[in-house]
Amino acid sequence: MHLGKKEKITISHDTTSIFRKNKKESIPIEESTSDISVPSHPPLVLFGSLPSTVSNQLTLELQRQGITVSGWLPSQRYTELPSLGENVYVCGVHPFLSRTATTLLRRRRCKLIGAPFPIGPDGTRAWIEKICSVFGITPQNLKSREQEIWTGLDDYLQLVRGKSVFFMGDNLFEISLARFLIRCGMTVYEIGIPYMDKRFQAGELAFLEKTCREMGVPMPRIVEKPDNYHQIQRIRELKPDLAITGMAHANPLEARGISTKWSVEFTFAQIHGFTNSRDILELVTRPLRRHQSLQELGWAELIKSNPVGVR
């Protein structure tokens, strides 16, 4: 081939079909829009950072009800960021995203779906039912789906039923977790919470009140920005079986014979959706099971005198 010689290249303008050459045969590739399913409802965008496995689970649960999720904020890839606008419905999965919800409403003119958060079988069912009701869709097989999960949690429910818990307040998951544990048969003495946007958590608060009525228990006291000194005094008087607290108060409470669980563990654990309900009870029952084992071994007094590092 000479460098100075010009080659004549012929380009076909027939774009009705494009062929990829294969050793065995030529495979036609045609663009077809007939297989792309267009949802019969307005676009739905879910916001809240979750592991891909959990977000996929929630997406599939909605797809079972005929609801297509247009995207997640944040998305796994920048190129997959969903479009936002006046006709887009948005729904959150975390209780600490009230500012995000306000921004989507005011700046992007989106429509917010105020639903309980998908934590626990009851919360996940209520979350799906709320989204279905907004789009005029009748949920299918949700009751049996929830009951199936509760049946699989029976071994944990036997451990927590009749126990008491006190939330000191650290990560804003307190109301959702308290509602789920009340449904499990636990007594919640107090729900401490750093701050609360009653508009964003209106669905969760109403669901908590409904759960208390159905379970026949009084509505627990919700304390916003609690004073830790007074909380410690109340814990000393009430003597709950479990205190869910920050790391700073865990060891002093353990030294006084109160089983504790770090609230930060619920922040980083996978607690959303039907299938992750078992992980919540695993975290809750771990200190209860440890305390019971220590009592059987007669080591409770030893732990009181040296609680450092005991989780």
| Other residues' Cβ atoms within 10 Å of the Cβ of residue 41 | 15
Residue 172 lies in a domain: yes
Number of domains in the chain: 2
Give the domain-ending residue among 143, 164, 188.
143
What is the C-alpha separation between 111 and 114, in angstroms, rounded? Answer: 10
The rounded Cα 303 to chain-centroid distance in angstroms is: 34
Do 164 and 297 sit in the same domain of this protein?
yes
Q: Give residue 118's domain range.
A: 44-143
How does pLDDT run across 116-130, given as a tens digit for each residue? 999 999 999 999 999
Do 111 and 160 sit in the same domain of this protein?
no
Residue 11 lies in a domain: no
Give me the amino acid identity at 119: I
Q: What is the pLDDT of residue 100?
A: 97
CATH number, domain containing residue 170: 3.40.50.1980
Contact 90, 110 (CB under 8 A): yes
Do 169 and 286 sit in the same domain of this protein?
yes
In sequence order, what are the beta bridge partners of 268? Answer: none
Residue 2 lies in a domain: no
Question: What is the phi/psi pair of residue 71, to 5°?
Answer: 170, 170
What is the pairing mode between strands 26-29 and 18-21? antiparallel
Do 300 and 155 sit in the same domain of this protein?
yes
Do 64 and 107 sit in the same domain of this protein?
yes
Residue 103 lies in a domain: yes
Do 110 and 209 sit in the same domain of this protein?
no
Give the domain-ending residue among 92, 124, 143.
143
Residue 24 lies in a domain: no
Do 183 and 119 sit in the same domain of this protein?
no
Do 132 and 161 sit in the same domain of this protein?
no
Residues of the chain with pLDDT under 70: 1-38, 298-311
Q: What is the pLDDT of residue 257?
A: 87
Give the domain-ending residue among 123, 143, 163.
143
Do 100 and 154 sit in the same domain of this protein?
no
Do 165 and 273 sit in the same domain of this protein?
yes
Q: What is the pLDDT of residue 159?
A: 95
Do 81 and 220 sit in the same domain of this protein?
no
Q: What is the pLDDT of residue 78?
A: 87
Residue 225 lies in a domain: yes
Q: What is the pLDDT of residue 35?
A: 44
Do 188 and 69 sit in the same domain of this protein?
no
Going by C-beta distance under 8 Å and a sequence separation of 6 or more, which residues neighbour residue 192?
A: 167, 168, 169, 174, 223, 226, 231
Q: What is the pLDDT of residue 14?
A: 44
Residue 128 lies in a domain: yes
Q: In the structure encoding, which two tokens stand for residue 257, read together?
A: 């014979």
